[in-house]
């Protein structure tokens, strides 16, 4: 049976647990959210029922807590013994009283600003692990720390990175099992060789390490993965480019320990370079990229794998969260993994042996493959989709039909609730936007996109209902999801501002919504203290892609991220939305048209991913049209070329990538853009229209 930490009053409640599922409300005193995903099966399902369809309209803020960082917040809270532990941007950790929000302690690992540019997708962190009086945090720069759960005192800290010359980062939540704590890394977009490492929870000593892809021929790592990589993986790689860039496969999110079968499941990442043509001479499955990998939790030994996207060329990671469940399929009970990776297909996998039981599309307009062959369980690829001879307009795009935002499974409805997008991307092997190589971007007329939360039937392989999420962020389908035994589904939305929704799990009817001053990307959780049920969610915009790259909604003044907690009859008042972003700098300078034109291309290639596309800036990371730095060539050079803001803000210097004349061209472009914005402001023209009211 899955682990779920509760304190119950009354023999009836204890008897209910003894016979399996029971809803928890009457007679329940305290219920923790002690594991990532709520329990050891990571279903994002809670058996609490105090908040239900009849009273959810009375749900209101109980308290909120402001973080000391404005960057993206993807963390999932963990609640143990009434204490809420949350990680924030820059890998900081807070311990808060779960009933009042009072801060008990804070831990700052002091991630150096110079680590920030190594990440593809902001300085985010997805959560901590808590076990036996210890809190575990993986820091953005790749350290693992164990903290005293009562005081926040650092008990031990180790460096998990094997090669600091590569752009490794750690953004995922550690998992704890059998006296070990495990973490993977990110960085395949920039060029790394992926691996996971397990450490002893008491000492921090390495227990074992498993590499996802082979290393250089003839060189053994001295790790548990050596033999299986030679036996199964080596012959699926070709050429030498992948050796230089690491090959990728970074397992940056999904790690699940199966208590019933005593197996550990790892979701692996994309290739580096992205294009198989550039990476591996256009040949080979490139094991173990884009796979679900099962390992022995004690030793790290290989058990089985299933590769969902052989020879990945599209950044179709398999790191998206996995729900463990028991399903009856054609009259037979199966212990399964439910998985919706980026590639647009939903997989039901027998977790005893890795055999797929079904693989059906959960996304619309999949263009790279027409389906999954039911005998080989390999994708049926569309000719030209690997963009070797010419660019290919593909769907899903690099952010996937479903990304890191956790989906939830309800054993009551039998449905999976997936944040979903229909999106498109022009792939080209002639462009290489990342230092690890890759070749992704190209111009194209992009069809209309869509974003929504869908309820998906994993047995029938079809959508049951959807709730629209367009008008917020185009590449997420909304934030992570929580399902409860009262047949409610909770999901947050937003890009700069946000909202939290409660949805009827069977029908998709929106029963309740509450505005939030921050975007909501993370999954909500729920817990009970002294007989009161709470719903908590970490809030704050950022992360990869939009809104940093561009927002459909107006830019606003910067604000801190927040933990927001709701309960029935709550009386707290959330802060108002931040004001629209302030006036343009409007430099009193005549900018050279030739430099403006040159700077436009340089800005798009070097600056827009963080500071935003021209005219679509969110100001979560400073909108340069509003920065005083653009007034002075010397000041702009000091920041952009020399890295004056590296330590304080994580803004890298571009010396070695851009010469001083190119940096000055970018300043001319931004100065010109600032003058245009100022003219619009003087004329009373809105920067962008507000999101329509729901």
Looking only at Cα atoms, what is the longest distance across the chain? 80
Integer CA distances (angstroms), 562 to 68, 71, 121, 548, 622, in order: 9, 11, 20, 18, 19
> Whose structure tokens read 């399996």?
20
| DSSP state letter for 639 | I
Nearest-angstrom CA–CA distance, 527 and 32: 5
Q: Distance from CA of residue 193 to its chain's centroid?
A: 20
Exposure b/e, 19-31, CB count within 10 A at least 16 = b? eeebbbbeebebb
Q: What is the dihedral of CA 232, 238, 239, 244, to 10 degrees?
A: -50
Integer CA distances (angstroms), 145 to 88, 93, 629, 648, in order: 15, 11, 37, 23
Nearest-angstrom CA–CA distance, 656 and 388: 30
| Residues 231 and 297: beta-carbon distance below 8 Å | no
Nearest-angstrom CA–CA distance, 3 and 43: 12
**What's the token pair of residue 441?**
């971007």
Q: Does residue 373 carry a catalytic annotation? A: no
In 3D space, the residue among 265, 279, 258 whose CA is nearest the CA of residue 320 turns out to be 265
Exposure b/e, 347-365, CB count within 10 A at least 16 = b? bbbbbbebebbbbbbbbbe
Marked catalytic residue, from 30, 41, 315, 475: 315
In 3D space, the residue among 21, 20, 23, 25 whose CA is nearest the CA of residue 9 turns out to be 25
Nearest-angstrom CA–CA distance, 113 and 650: 4
| DSSP state letter for 640 | I
Cβ-based neighbours of 656, under 8 Å, separated by 6 or more: none
CA angle, corner 81, sides to 77 and 82, nearest 5?
60
| DSSP state letter for 655 | T
- Give kind and range of the element (H or E) at residue 680: helix 660-683
Nearest-angstrom CA–CA distance, 439 and 351: 35
Helices 593-606 and 660-683 sit at what angle, rounded to 10 degrees? 100
The tally of CA atoms less than 13 A away on the side-chain side of residue 331 is 0
Nearest-angstrom CA–CA distance, 269 and 263: 20
Integer CA distances (angstroms), 548 to 217, 284, 474, 623, in order: 40, 35, 12, 10
- Give kind and range of the element (H or E) at residue 634: helix 633-636
Nearest-angstrom CA–CA distance, 607 and 623: 11
Question: Catalytic site residues?
Answer: 315
């Amino acid at each position: 049976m899955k682990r779920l930490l509760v304190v119950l009053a009354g023999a009836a409640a204890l008897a209910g647990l003894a016979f399996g599922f029971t809803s928890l409300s009457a007679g329940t005193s305290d219920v923790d959210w002690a594991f990532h995903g709520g329990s050891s099966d990571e279903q994002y399902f809670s058996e609490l029922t105090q908040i239900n369809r009849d009273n959810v309209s009375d749900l209101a803020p109980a308290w909120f807590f402001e973080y000391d960082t404005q960057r993206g917040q993807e963390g999932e809270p963990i609640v143990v013994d009434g204490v809420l532990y949350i990680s924030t941007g820059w890998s900081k950790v807070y311990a808060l009283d779960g009933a009042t929000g009072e801060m008990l302690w804070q831990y700052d690992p002091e991630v150096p600003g110079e680590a920030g540019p190594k990440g593809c997708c902001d300085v985010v962190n997805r959560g901590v692990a808590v076990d036996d009086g210890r809190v575990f945090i993986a820091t953005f720069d790749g350290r693992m720390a164990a903290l005293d759960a009562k005081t926040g005192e650092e008990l031990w800290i180790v460096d998990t990175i094997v090669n600091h010359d590569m752009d490794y980062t750690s953004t995922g939540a550690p998992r704890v099992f059998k006296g070990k704590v495990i973490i993977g890394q990110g960085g395949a977009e920039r060029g790394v060789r992926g691996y996971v490492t397990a450490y002893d929870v008491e000492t921090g000593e390495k227990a074992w390490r498993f590499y996802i892809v082979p290393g250089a021929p003839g060189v053994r790592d001295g790790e548990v993965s050596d033999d299986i990589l030679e036996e199964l993986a080596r012959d699926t790689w070709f050429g030498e480019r992948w050796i230089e860039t690491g090959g990728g496969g970074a397992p940056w999110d999904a790690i699940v320990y199966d208590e019933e079968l005593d197996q550990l499941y790892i979701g692996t990442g994309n290739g580096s370079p992205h294009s198989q043509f550039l990476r591996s001479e256009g040949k080979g499955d490139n094991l173990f990229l884009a796979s679900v990998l099962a390992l022995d939790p004690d030793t790290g030994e290989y058990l089985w794998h299933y590769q969902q996207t052989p020879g990945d060329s599209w950044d179709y990671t398999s790191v998206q969260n996995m729900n463990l469940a028991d399903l009856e399929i054609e009259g037979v009970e199966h212990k399964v993994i439910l998985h919706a990776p980026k590639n647009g297909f939903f997989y039901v996998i027998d977790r005893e042996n890795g055999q797929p039981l079904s693989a059906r599309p959960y996304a619309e307009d999949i263009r790279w493959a027409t389906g999954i062959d039911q005998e080989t369980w390999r994708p049926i690829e569309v000719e030209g989709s690997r963009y070797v001879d010419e660019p290919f307009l593909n769907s899903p795009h690099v952010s996937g039909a479903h990304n890191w935002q956790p989906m939830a499974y309800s054993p009551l409805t039998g449905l999976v609730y997936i944040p979903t997008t229909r999106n498109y991307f022009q792939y080209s092997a002639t462009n290489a936007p990342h230092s690890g190589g890759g070749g992704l971007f190209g111009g194209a007329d992009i069809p209309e996109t869509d974003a929504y939360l869908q309820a998906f039937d994993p047995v029938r392989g079809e959508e049951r209902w959807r709730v629209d999420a367009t008008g917020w962020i185009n590449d997420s389908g909304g934030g992570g999801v929580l399902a409860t035994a009262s047949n409610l589904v909770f999901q947050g939305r937003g890009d700069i501002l946000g909202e939290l929704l409660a949805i009827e799990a069977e029908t998709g009817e929106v029963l309740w919504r509450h505005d939030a001053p921050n975007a909501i990307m993370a999954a909500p959780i729920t817990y009970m203290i002294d007989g009161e049920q709470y719903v908590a969610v970490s809030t704050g915009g950022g992360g990869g892609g939009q809104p940093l790259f561009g927002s459909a909604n107006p830019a606003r003044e910067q604000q801190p991220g927040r933990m927001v907690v709701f309960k029935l009859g709550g009386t707290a008042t959330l802060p108002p939305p931040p004001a629209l972003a302030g006036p343009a700098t409007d430099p009193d300078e005549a900018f050279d048209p030739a430099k403006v034109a040159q700077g436009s291309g340089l800005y798009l290639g070097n600056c827009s991913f963080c500071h935003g596309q021209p005219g679509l800036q969110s100001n979560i990371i400073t909108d340069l049209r509003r920065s005083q730095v653009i007034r002075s060539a010397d000041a702009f050079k000091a920041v952009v070329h020399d890295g004056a803001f590296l330590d304080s803000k994580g803004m890298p210097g571009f010396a070695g990538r851009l010469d001083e004349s190119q940096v000055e061209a970018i300043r001319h472009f931004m100065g010109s853009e600032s003058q245009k914005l100022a003219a619009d402001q003087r004329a009373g023209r809105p920067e962008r229209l507000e999101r329509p009211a729901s």
